[in-house]
Amino acid sequence: MSTIIATLGTGRARRLRAALTVLLAAAVAVGAPFYFAPFQVFQLTMVLLYAVALAGLNLLVGFGGQISLGHGAFFAAGAYTAAVMLDRYDTGHLATLPVAAAGCFLLGLGFGVPALRLRGLYLALVTLAFAVFLPPLLKRLEPVTGGSMGLTVDKLQPPAWSGLAEDQWLYLVVLAVTAVALLLARNLLRSRVGRALLAVRDNESAAEVMGVRLSLHKTLAFAWSAMFAGVAGCLYTWVIGFVSPDSFSFVLSITLLAGLVVGGLASLYGPLLGAAFVMYVPSVSQDVSEAAPGVVFGLLIITVMFVAPTGLAGLPGRVRAAVARRLPRRAPTSARTPEAESAPDGEPEPDAESGPESLAESGPGGDPESLAESAPDAEESAAASAPDVSPKSPAASDPSATDTPADLAVADAEPVGAPPRTEKE
C-alpha cells in the first residue's frame, strides 16, 4: 500500500513539474515580442513556422521510419496556395490556412500511394525528384503563380483593438498555430495511429502480424507530414508577404532534413531545436565567413553530430549519463544476519568454532581464571580413564590376545590363488 501511495505521489509530482514547466515556457514565449527588437521578433517567428514543418517531417522520418528529401515541395505548395488565394481571389488570411492544410494533405496522400513499393534510397530519390522539378513547374505556370517574378501579397495586419505592432501580432498568431500543431502531433503519436506508426518503423512483419495495415499507415504518414508542411508554408506567406520559385529549391528540403536530424529524431522537442538551428546557424555562418558560409554551416553540423549523435534533444541525457559514470560508486553495505540484529549491541556474538560444550565449561561468565583452574583437573581425569598400553600389560606383549573371533577367521582363511592343502599339512 505504501508503495502504491509513493508511486502516485511521484506521478503527481512529475505531472505538476511538467505543468509548471509548460506554464513558464508559455509565459516566456508570450512575453518575448515585447522585449526584443523587431528583427529579432521576426527571427523568432521564422523559428516557430519552421518548427511546424519539422514536426510534420518528424512524423514521417522519426516516427514512421521513412525518408523524405522533398519536404520543401509540400512547404512550397502550402505557400503558393495561400498566395494565390490572397492575390487572385482576395480572400482573408485566416481562410487560407485550412485550404492549404487540406490541399497538402490530399497531395501527400496521392504521393504516398505510389511510394508504398519504395523504401530506403529509392524512396529518397523519388522525393528528391519531386523537390527538384517543382520550382521549374511553378515558373511555367506564370498566369497562376506569377512565373519567375513570384507573387507579392499583403502581410497579416493586426486589428486596431489589439494595439500591437505588425511583427508582434504576426509572432503571436504564428505562436498560437505552432502550439496547436505541436499539440496535435503529440496527441496523434499517443493515439492508435501513432502506435501503429511506431510498430511499422520497428518491425513491419511483426506489425502486419498484429493486424496493422502497412499501406494505410504509410500513406497516412505522408499525408500528415505534407499537411504540417502546408500549414508552415501558409504561415510563411503571411510573414514574408512574397513567394517565388527560387525560394523553394531542393536546398530547402535538405536543410529541413538536416535541421530535424540535428534537433533530434523521434523527439517532441527536436523540431523546435532543429528550427532554431536552421534559422540562426546560417546567419552565424555568414558572420564568421562571408566568402564560404556553406563550409562553416557544414562544419557546425558535423560538430553537433559528433558531440550529440542523437540530436540536441538527447544531449542532456548523454550529459547526465557521463556525469553518472564519473561519480564514485558507493560501496555496498554488508547485510546483517537476523541473529546479529536481534542481539544486544553490548554483548559479543558467540564464536562459531566453539561449540555448546565449551560454552558450558566456560561457565556463565566465561572467566579466564576459572578456565585455567579447571584445565589440570581435566587432564588428570583424561589420563586416569585412558587404557594402560605399557609393555608389561598382556595386551602389549601378546597381540593375539586382543584379536576377535572375526579376526581369527580371516587369518585362517586361505589366500586367493594358493594351492589346496593336503591332509599331511
Domain-embedded: residue 324:
no
Domain-embedded: residue 261:
no
**Count: domains in the chain:** 1
Domain-embedded: residue 323:
no
Amino acid symbol at 54: L
pLDDT of residue 184: 94
Domain-embedded: residue 142:
yes
What CA dihedral angle connects 95, 133, 197 and 50, to 10 degrees? -50
Long-range contacts of 295-302 (CB under 8 A, 24+ apart): 301/258, 301/262
Amino acid symbol at 362: S
pLDDT of residue 361: 43
Read off the DSSP letter of residue 60.
I
What's the rounded Cα separation, in Å, for the pair 302 and 81? 36
pLDDT of residue 151: 93
| Residues 288-304 as b or e (16 or more Cβ within 10 Å = b) | eeeeebeebbeebbeeb
Domain-embedded: residue 281:
no
Domain-embedded: residue 234:
yes
Domain-embedded: residue 31:
no
Domain-embedded: residue 6:
no
Question: Exposed, middle or buried by CB within 10 Å (0-12, 13-18, 19+), for 155?
Answer: middle
Instruction: Please check whether residue 1 is in contact with residue 9, taking contact to mean a CB–CB distance below 8 angstroms.
Output: no
pLDDT of residue 80: 96
What's the rounded Cα separation, in Å, for the pair 301 and 259? 9
pLDDT of residue 352: 43
- CA 103 to chain CA centroid, nearest Å: 34
pLDDT of residue 307: 86
Strand, helix or coil for residue 397: helix
The whole model's pTM is what? 0.74
pLDDT of residue 183: 93
What's the rounded Cα separation, in Å, for the pair 314 and 263? 9
Strand, helix or coil for residue 40: helix
Tell me the mean pLDDT per 10 residues along the chain, length 425: 56 82 90 92 95 94 89 95 92 93 93 80 87 92 90 91 92 95 92 88 87 87 94 96 92 91 89 92 79 78 86 84 77 48 47 43 44 46 47 44 45 48 45
Question: Exposed, middle or buried by CB within 10 Å (0-12, 13-18, 19+), for 193?
Answer: middle
Q: Where are the alpha helices (DSSP H) in 212-314?
A: 214-240, 250-263, 270-288, 293-307
Percentages (nearest 5) of helix, strand, coil residues in the chain: 70, 0, 25
What's the rounded Cα separation, in Å, for the pair 336 and 334? 6
One-character DSSP codes across 319-380: HHHHHHHHSPPPPPPPPPPHHHHHS-SSSPPPPSSS-HHHHHHTTTTT-HHHHHHHHHHHHH
The closest alpha carbon to 245, from 354, 136, 329, belongs to: 136
Query: Which domain range does residue 57 map to?
Result: 39-249
What's the rounded Cα separation, in Å, for the pair 35 and 162? 17
What's the rounded Cα separation, in Å, for the pair 393 and 416? 36
Packing angle of the helix pair 166-189, 2-31 (nearest 10 deg): 150
